[in-house]
């Protein structure tokens, strides 16, 4: 029997239930993976809460590291006992074992532990997309990063700073601000929980001594949209890549024009790594950057898989710094 976490209705963390059920043999092109460490990502919260509707019942989770246990028909290039990880769907990573498409598995280097891989891969590939495909450092190195002490935020801040970015990190506490500065942020803006983000644009202009930043990375969404747009210099880009505070209102392109010929982009990791070759190339760059110290796996805490509900409550409480990892 195989244990997993499942939800049959959407709602708060309490809808996550510990279940057991059979696991079929891996089908054609699939591999059975025994999970050793499972990454918790905010997308798991959106699925559980119903913010992103999914067919029910559902097993959450898009990221895990583990060991290959069995190969389905037609699989080559992988072997039983090999350490691997994955970062995409179908969802189902909150489980002891699962079958997953072989072409979506990434072999893990010896330099990376399974827990570090589960803390690094999804968030590191997101940062890879933002740094390599979205960031526009040409006009100015100044960049604003919201939720800079979060799972993605710490990795993104460090990577941008190592590549010449002058990062202003927005966080909700002085403790988080100190951590973000350790990762290379040049300045931080503290907006305590419950406070509005109104002062962010003026603070940004004061810090940069200019018209604002050229790029904003905003994963908070509803609560930060206005402050993000108002912090941009002319021709700046708002990369809106998440909505932890809630869905964004629609934006009128004419308003982007009036504010200074701004651009708005909604990048997704799933487009970034949809091609298996692109996935492996991006993962190789993440592993190399980790080995060089350009990226760091920050584990806020590890919890038993059975306590997935507690992990979700923690993530939503805005008290975590870095990643949460579940251990089956
Ligand atoms: N587009 C993509 O492909 C992609 C891929 C990966 C992740 N993401 C997005 O990136 C974001 C970060 O993901 P993560 O897993 O690393 O989570 P996280 O950043 O560790 O956690 C979310 C953080 O957002 C901030 N926040 C501000 N207002 C919030 C609110 N009302 N409720 C909850 N959090 C709030 C909190 O930091 P402060 O308390 O410091 O404000 C909190 O720690 C998420 O929005 C996620 O959807 C997008």
| Reported pTM | 0.98
- Cβ of 268 less than 6 Å from ligand 1: yes
Query: Is ligand 1 within 6 A of the CB of residue 320?
Result: yes
Ligand 1: does its nearest atom lie under 6 Å from the Cβ of 169?
A: no
Q: Is the CB of 151 under 6 A from ligand 1?
A: yes
Using one digit for the tens of pLDDT, what is the confidence trace for 52-98? 999 999 999 999 999 999 999 999 999 999 999 999 989 999 999 99
Query: Ligand 1 mean position to 69 CA, how many Å?
Result: 33
Judged against a pLDDT cut of 90, whether residue 1 lies above it is answered with no
Q: What architecture does CATH give domain 2-112+297-327? A: Alpha-Beta Complex (3.90)
Portion of the chain with pLDDT greater than 70, in percent: 100
Tell me: the pLDDT tens digits for 109-166?
Answer: 999 999 999 999 999 999 999 999 999 898 899 999 999 999 999 999 999 999 999 9
Atom of ligand 1 nearest to the CA of 148: 40
For residue 122, give the ligand 1 atom closest to its CA. Answer: 6
Separation of 70 CA from ligand 1 center, angstroms? 35
Name the pLDDT band for 34 (thresholds 50, 70, 90): very high
Q: Where are the domains of the chain?
A: 2-112+297-327, 126-269
Ligand 1 pocket mutation pick from 152, 169, 315 by most atoms within 8 angstroms of CB = 152
Contact 103, 29 (CB under 8 A): yes
Average pLDDT of the chain to the nearest whole number: 97
pLDDT confidence bin for 290, thresholds 50/70/90? very high
Domain 126-269 listed as CATH 3.40.50.720 = yes
């Amino acid at each position: 029997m195989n244990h997993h976490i499942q939800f049959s209705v959407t709602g708060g963390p309490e809808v996550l239930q510990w279940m057991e059920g059979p696991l079929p043999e891996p089908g054609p092109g699939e591999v059975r993976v025994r999970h050793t460490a499972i990454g918790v990502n905010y997308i798991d919260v959106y699925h559980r809460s119903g913010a992103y509707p999914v067919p029910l019942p559902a097993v959450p989770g898009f990221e895990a590291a583990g060991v290959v246990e069995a190969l389905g028909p037609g699989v080559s290039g992988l072997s039983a006992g090999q350490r691997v990880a994955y970062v995409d769907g179908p969802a189902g990573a909150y489980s002891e074992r699962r079958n997953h498409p072989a072409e979506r598995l990434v072999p893990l280097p010896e330099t990376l532990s399974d827990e570090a891989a589960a803390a690094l891969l999804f968030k590191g590939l997101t940062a890879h997309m933002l740094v390599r495909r979205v960031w526009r450092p040409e006009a100015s190195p100044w960049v604003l990063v919201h939720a800079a002490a979060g799972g993605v935020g710490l990795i993104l801040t460090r990577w941008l700073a190592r590549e010449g970015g002058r990062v202003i990190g927005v966080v909700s506490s002085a403790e988080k601000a100190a951590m973000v500065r350790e990762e290379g942020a040049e300045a931080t803006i503290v907006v305590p929980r419950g406070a509005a983000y109104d002062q962010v644009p003026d603070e940004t202009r004061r810090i940069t001594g200019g018209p604002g930043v050229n790029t904003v990375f905003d994963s908070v969404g509803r609560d930060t949209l206005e402050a993000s747009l108002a912090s941009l210099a002319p021709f700046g880009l708002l990369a809106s890549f998440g909505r932890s505070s809630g869905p964004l209102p629609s934006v009128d392109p004419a308003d982007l024009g009036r504010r200074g010929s701004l651009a708005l982009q909604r990048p997704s990791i799933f487009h970034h790594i949809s091609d298996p070759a692109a996935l492996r190339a991006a993962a190789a760059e993440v592993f190399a950057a980790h080995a060089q110290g350009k990226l760091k796996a920050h584990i806020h805490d590890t919890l038993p898989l059975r306590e997935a509900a507690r992990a979700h409550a923690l993530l939503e409480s805005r008290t975590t710094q870095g990643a949460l990892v579940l251990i089956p």
